[in-house]
């Protein structure tokens, strides 16, 4: 049995049961935008971490097991969808911004990130969010403060 777990917005963990007499496993992937099968790895392990996932894309994985005594491969197809929530911002108070979003299936928590003018990288704000609402405050500062 093969299981696929979305770990975050850029990683999918694949785990499978050891096949009887298997000596190696070959993992392939395709997407809706790239329908050709891409070889990801050949391994003796019973797991693989795909760190090249893309938000909003649907991934299909095939794991083939091979043994020295059996010429047929066991092929299992797993579909994984990486979802992004629809986010709405509310500003009832001029100093407060509230973010709310729809629940993403199978999400265990969410995180909020910010990128301000002049920043080149996104910065995480707050810890793990276990609901679908995140209020935060904005404070205007002058050079003297």
Answer for the pair 1, 17: CB distance below 8 angstroms, yes or no.
yes
> Whole-structure pTM over 0.75, yes or no?
no
Q: Domain 2-81 carries which CATH code? A: 2.60.40.10
Q: What is the mean pLDDT of residues 9-23?
A: 81
Q: How confident is the model at residue 139 (pLDDT cuts 50, 70, 90)?
A: low
Q: How confident is the model at residue 72 (pLDDT cuts 50, 70, 90)?
A: very low
Q: What is the mean pLDDT of the chain?
A: 75
Strand order in the sheet with 96-101: 87-90, 96-101, 133-137
Query: What residue ranges of the chain are covered by domains with CATH 2.60.40.10?
Result: 2-81
């Amino acid at each position: 049995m093969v299981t696929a777990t979305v770990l975050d917005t850029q990683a999918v963990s694949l785990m499978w049961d050891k096949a009887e007499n298997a000596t190696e496993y070959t993992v392939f992937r395709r997407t809706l935008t790239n329908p050709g099968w891409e070889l990801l790895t050949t391994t003796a392990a019973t797991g693989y971490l795909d760190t090249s996932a893309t938000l909003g894309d649907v991934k299909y994985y095939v794991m083939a097991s091979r043994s020295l005594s059996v010429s047929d491969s066991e092929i299992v197809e797993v579909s994984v969808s990486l979802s992004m929530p629809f986010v709405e911002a509310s500003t009832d108070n001029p100093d407060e911004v509230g973010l709310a979003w729809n629940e993403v299936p199978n999400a265990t928590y969410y995180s909020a990130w910010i990128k301000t003018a002049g920043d080149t990288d996104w910065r995480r704000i707050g810890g793990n969010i276990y609901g679908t609402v995140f209020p935060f405050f904005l404070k205007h500062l002058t050079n003297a403060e």
